[in-house]
């Protein structure tokens, strides 16, 4: 049996953990920090909006198509009907069943984007959350970005429950969606509820744990406020028993008491059953699934019950780990009475108050006016104001407690991923990691006034967005923006215009190519200058070899016997990394190589750090040229959903774009084509397939891998890169 966490149920505020301070409004046991994450258009924002309405946080439901939702507050989000930036908001919920029935729990929610271009928002949100709700479309099932989000949640060990949304849509199939979760995500997914009817006949849910049914009546209760609790319909009793037994068997792997009762044929009470599901969920080995329709206002209250009953509170999850200044592991154990430590996971520039730093408090308490120590800068900064975010609105507070997600005003020198803590608490928490940009474009201000404003605008936007890079091309003097996709860069330009009043002209997007090697080679770098007086002498011998995919550039010092003194190893290493910024094929960054410093020599008087840095650059360049260097291009995973009559045209179009068809399947009357296509061939692709299918096909595009550029295209790319380089 899998090891399961110990779960304590606290229903009396007087019996909460001593980790709680006496004056906190919601004990840690009654707090949930969750994210809503999914593929684009699965219904995350609508689900969030319904959660806020049913919990009483808002009094009128907003709609994405009307641009009236709370969490999509940016102008671009409301115009385009998509989520661009993760928004934090809080609400409270009284569970209708289970051990916590009637006890108001605080739920802090982050609604994340679904579009792959804004995947950094999901990454940094999942890094600081204790649990997540993964939303899937009942028609489309598991889509490409669903897989990306699932991998991100696995990486940060975030327990989750699944909400199969859009059960009212034509082609909805709850059990197929659960099956896809098992096949594509390798999730141990089991229904906690099963639907009564589907498509236009979706009218209720059967709670497999409580053994009751909830019936919705759109005529008598159009807002879905009071679903009727009733016995399970007679024609579904057998199916409900089948799935209840499967669920019981699945969770018995995580609870010895339940396992004994199940094997002995004893009755399991609903409260025991719920605690077993909670243990299984928090262990990361089980995912409960809930059907519903957020748009039709069905099933969201039961989802909220599941958030309270099954997702962890800050005490349930293992303490966040970090390192001290000596590199030893340190834990930030959740407690209001401990020293303060937390993570700055997002920056935002507000036109009225300036820089806002989103902050997760892992341990300790944070009063307004406190000075926080930043181990990265080794400086302290004072928090002038402390706020709870309500999407675009703010609520001033005087004190934040452990487990809280809040925002800081007044701290200046902070970047995403910084630890902020008490000065005598030596800890650096692990920051979130972000993918490398895959696309770049030049951008030029339209006037001198715009040029001055553009520098400020880009500085702020780069500080907010870890996947946005800015550099000035040394050959052309152009400013190059690099990001995660066309939409990402388009939104950045739009924000520059609206928020910073900068008018700029963008060049054609360029691909962020990479270079690597196919074989091992040796290289020798010498930097010798004699000009009367003190000279310069640096000599480095390196061996270069291919590395595993995704490992980047690794430099290993293998010097023995003092051929190169220790103080010159670091500058030589820096030189190698600098040399790897511009490869030997077309000057693009080098990836996935191991460089070993194997030999060298020095001069007692003339050797210097600069000389060894230059020798490192020369040695790397020489080895790179001899190691059969190749150019890599980003390959994207493309999933096209189309009516069958356009299948042939769209497959032909993929082939013309140097694409490779990976598979086809029919689902709910539509054909789904999956393919790998070079990013270079995908500019304007969504518009093109709409033309080919008369607006009836749709596509999602996600980064897949890098692959060698065909020789037929290599010459053209090399020539282009030397004329208008955009290397990032």
Q: Taking the C-alpha atoms of 73, 78, 84 and 88 in order, what is their torsion angle to the nearest 10 degrees?
A: 30
Phi, psi angle pair for 219, to nearest 5°: -75, -50
| Predicted pLDDT at 724 | 47
Closest CA to 382 of 357, 347, 345: 357
Do 178 and 96 fall into the same domain?
Answer: yes
Q: Which domain covers residue 665, as residue numbers? A: 633-708
Do 398 and 547 fall into the same domain?
Answer: no
| Predicted pLDDT at 656 | 92
Do 605 and 667 fall into the same domain?
Answer: no
Phi, psi angle pair for 168, to nearest 5°: -85, -10
Q: Evaluate whether residue 728 is within a structural domain.
A: no
Q: What is the C-alpha separation between 716 and 285, in angstroms, rounded? A: 50
What Cα–Cα distance (Å) separates residue 534 from each residue in 119, 504, 531, 612, 618? 53, 49, 8, 15, 22
Beta strand 698-708 with 629-643: parallel, antiparallel or unpaired?
antiparallel
Do 264 and 157 fall into the same domain?
Answer: yes
Do 169 and 42 fall into the same domain?
Answer: yes
Strand spans (E) along 127-252: 131-137, 160-165, 189-191, 193-196, 204-207, 212-215, 228-230
Q: Evaluate whether residue 196 is within a structural domain.
A: yes
Tokens 């290993």 sit on residue: 556
Tokens 């702020």 sit on residue: 460
Query: Structure tokens of 511?
Result: 């691909």
Residue after which a domain boundary falls, among 487, 513, 539: 513
Q: What is the C-alpha separation between 120 and 624, in angstroms, rounded? A: 32
Q: Give me the DSSP letters along 102-161.
A: T-EEEEEEEE---SGGGHHHHHHHHHH-SEEEEEEETTTBS-HHHHHHHHHHHHTT--EE
DSSP H or E segment with residue 658 = none
Report the CATH number at residue 345.
Answer: 2.40.30.10
The residues, any chain, with a CB within 8 Å of residue 563's CB and separated by 6 or more, are 599, 600, 601, 602
| Predicted pLDDT at 509 | 75
Do 49 and 105 fall into the same domain?
Answer: yes
Closest CA to 230 of 246, 217, 245, 248: 217
Query: Structure tokens of 135?
Result: 């939303």
CB-count burial class (<10 Å; 0-12, 13-18, 19+) for 184: middle
In this prediction, the residues of the chain whose per-residue pLDDT falls under 70 are 1-8, 59-87, 113-117, 351, 390-393, 474-477, 531-533, 668, 720-728
In 283-411, where does DSSP find H-type helix?
300-310
Query: Structure tokens of 640?
Result: 């096209």
Query: Structure tokens of 536?
Result: 């310069």
Residue after which a domain boundary falls, among 479, 513, 547: 513
Q: Evaluate whether residue 448 is within a structural domain.
A: yes
| Predicted pLDDT at 362 | 93
Phi, psi angle pair for 700, to nearest 5°: -125, 140
- What's the residue count for the chain? 728
Burial 485-496 (b: 16+ CB within 10 A, else e): bbbbbbbbbbbb
Q: Evaluate whether residue 382 is within a structural domain.
A: yes
| Predicted pLDDT at 55 | 83
Tokens 């671009």 sit on residue: 76
Do 693 and 657 touch, CB atoms closer than 8 A? no
What Cα–Cα distance (Å) separates residue 172 from each residue in 166, 175, 188, 239? 7, 9, 21, 19
Q: What is the C-alpha separation between 33 and 31, in angstroms, rounded? A: 7
Burial 207-223 (b: 16+ CB within 10 A, else e): bbbbebbbebeeeeeee
pTM: 0.74
CB atoms within 10 A of CB 660: 12
How far, rounded to the nearest angstrom, does the alpha carbon of residue 24 sit from its chain's CA centroid?
30
Q: Evaluate whether residue 389 is within a structural domain.
A: yes
Q: Evaluate whether residue 155 is within a structural domain.
A: yes
If one counts the domains in the chain, the total is 5
Report the CATH number at residue 677.
Answer: 3.30.70.240
Do 265 and 144 fall into the same domain?
Answer: yes
| Predicted pLDDT at 475 | 59
Phi, psi angle pair for 286, to nearest 5°: -150, 145
Q: What is the C-alpha separation between 536 and 455, in angstroms, rounded? A: 38
Q: What is the C-alpha separation between 281 and 188, in angstroms, rounded? A: 10
| Predicted pLDDT at 440 | 79
Residue after which a domain boundary falls, among 242, 277, 310: 310
Identify the bridge partners of residue 308 per DSSP, sorted by sequence position: none
Do 672 and 640 touch, CB atoms closer than 8 A? yes
Q: Evaluate whether residue 12 is within a structural domain.
A: no
| Predicted pLDDT at 392 | 56
Q: What is the C-alpha separation between 716 and 722, in angstroms, rounded? A: 10
Do 149 and 134 touch, CB atoms closer than 8 A? yes
Query: Structure tokens of 428?
Result: 């650096």
Q: Give me the DSSP letters along 283-316.
A: TTS-EEEEE-BTTTTBSHHHHHHHHHHHSPPTTT
| Predicted pLDDT at 725 | 42
Report the CATH number at residue 168.
Answer: 3.40.50.300
Do 603 and 674 fall into the same domain?
Answer: no
Query: Structure tokens of 302?
Result: 């039961």
User: Which tens digit of pLDDT belongs to each residue from 82-99?
Assistant: 555 556 788 888 888 877
Do 291 and 170 fall into the same domain?
Answer: yes
Do 128 and 38 fall into the same domain?
Answer: yes
CB atoms within 10 A of CB 484: 23
Report the CATH number at residue 443.
Answer: 3.30.70.870
Do 443 and 423 fall into the same domain?
Answer: no
Q: What is the C-alpha separation between 421 and 489, in angstroms, rounded? A: 34
Do 241 and 384 fall into the same domain?
Answer: no
Do 19 and 334 touch, CB atoms closer than 8 A? yes
| Predicted pLDDT at 111 | 74
Q: Evaluate whether residue 7 is within a structural domain.
A: no
The greatest distance separating any two alpha carbons of the chain, rounded to the nearest whole angstrom, comes to 100
What Cα–Cα distance (Å) separates residue 196 from each residue in 165, 170, 237? 14, 15, 11
How far, rounded to the nearest angstrom, does the alpha carbon of residue 373 sit from its chain's CA centroid?
27
Identify the bridge partners of residue 322 per DSSP, sorted by sequence position: 330, 429
């Amino acid at each position: 049996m899998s090891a399961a966490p110990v779960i304590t149920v606290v229903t009396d505020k007087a019996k909460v953990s001593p980790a709680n301070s006496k004056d906190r409004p919601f004990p840690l046991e009654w707090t949930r920090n969750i994210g809503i994450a999914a593929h684009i258009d699965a219904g995350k924002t609508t689900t969030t909006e319904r959660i806020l309405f049913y919990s009483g946080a808002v009094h009128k439901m907003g709609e994405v198509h009307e641009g009236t939702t709370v969490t999509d507050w940016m102008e671009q989000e409301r115009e385009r009907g998509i989520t661009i930036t993760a928004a934090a908001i809080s609400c409270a919920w009284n569970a209708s069943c289970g051990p916590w029935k009637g006890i108001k729990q605080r739920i802090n929610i982050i609604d994340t984007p679904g579009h792959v271009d804004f995947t950094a928002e999901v990454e940094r949100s999942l890094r600081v959350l204790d649990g997540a709700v993964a939303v899937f479309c009942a028609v489309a099932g598991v889509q490409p970005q669903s897989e990306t989000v699932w991998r991100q949640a696995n990486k940060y060990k975030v327990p989750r429950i699944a909400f199969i949304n859009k059960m009212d849509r034509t082609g909805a199939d709850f059990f197929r969606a659960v099956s896809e979760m098992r096949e594509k995500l390798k999730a141990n997914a089991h229904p906690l509820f099963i639907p009564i009817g589907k498509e236009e006949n979706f009218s209720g849910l059967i709670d497999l744990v409580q053994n009751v049914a909830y019936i919705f009546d759109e005529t008598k209760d159009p807002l879905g406020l009071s679903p009727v609790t009733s016995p399970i319909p007679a024609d579904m009793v057998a199916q409900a028993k089948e799935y209840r037994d499967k669920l019981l068997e699945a969770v018995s792997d995580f609870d010895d008491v339940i396992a004994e009762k199940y094997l002995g044929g004893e009755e399991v009470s609903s409260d025991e059953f719920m605690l077993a599901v909670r243990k299984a969920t928090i262990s990361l080995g089980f995912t409960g699934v809930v059907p519903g329709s957020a748009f039709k206002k069905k099933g969201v209250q039961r989802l909220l019950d599941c958030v309270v009953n099954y997702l962890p509170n800050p005490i349930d999850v293992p303490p966040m780990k970090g390192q001290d200044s000596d590199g030893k592991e340190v834990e930030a154990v959740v407690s209001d009475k401990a020293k303060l430590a937390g993570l700055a996971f997002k920056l935002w520039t507000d036109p009225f108050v300036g820089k806002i730093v989103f902050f997760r408090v892992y341990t300790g308490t944070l009063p307004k006016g406190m000075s926080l120590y930043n181990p990265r800068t080794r400086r302290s900064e004072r928090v002038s104001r402390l706020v709870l975010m309500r999407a675009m609105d703010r609520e001033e507070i005087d004190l934040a407690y452990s487990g809280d997600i809040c925002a800081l005003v007044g701290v200046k020198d902070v970047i995403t991923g910084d630890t902020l803590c008490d000065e005598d608490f030596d800890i650096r928490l692990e920051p979130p990691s972000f993918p490398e940009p895959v696309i770049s474009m030049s951008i030029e201000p339209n006037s001198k006034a715009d040029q001055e404003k553009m520098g400020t605008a880009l500085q702020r936007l780069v500080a907010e967005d870890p996947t946005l890079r800015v550099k000035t091309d040394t050959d052309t003097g152009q400013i190059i923006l690099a990001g995660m996709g066309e939409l990402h860069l388009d939104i950045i330009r739009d924000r520059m215009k609206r928020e910073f009043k900068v008018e700029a002209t963008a060049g054609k997007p360029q691909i962020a190519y990479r270079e690597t090697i196919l074989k091992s080679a040796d290289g020798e770098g010498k930097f010798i200058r004699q000009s009367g007086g003190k000279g310069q002498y640096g000599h480095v011998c390196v061996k270069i070899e291919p590395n595993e995919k995704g490992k980047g550039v690794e430099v290993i010092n293998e010097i023995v016997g003092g051929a190169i003194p220790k103080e010159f190893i670091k500058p030589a290493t820096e030189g190698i990394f600098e040399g790897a910024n511009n490869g030997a094929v077309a000057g693009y960054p080098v990836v996935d190589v191991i460089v070993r410093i194997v030999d060298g020599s020095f001069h007692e008087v003339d050797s210097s750090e600069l000389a060894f840095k230059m020798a490192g650059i020369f040695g790397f360049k020489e080895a790179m040229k001899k190691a059969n260097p190749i150019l890599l291009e980003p390959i994207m995973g493309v999933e096209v959903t189309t009516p069958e009559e356009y299948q042939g045209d769209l497959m032909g179009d993929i082939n013309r774009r140097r694409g490779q068809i990976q598979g086809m399947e029919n689902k709910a009357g539509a054909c789904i084509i999956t393919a790998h296509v070079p990013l270079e061939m995908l500019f304007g692709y969504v518009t093109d397939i709409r033309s080919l299918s008369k607006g009836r096909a749709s596509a999602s595009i996600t980064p897949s891998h890098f692959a060698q550029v065909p020789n037929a295209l290599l010459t053209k790319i090399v020539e282009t890169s030397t004329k208008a380089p955009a290397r990032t």
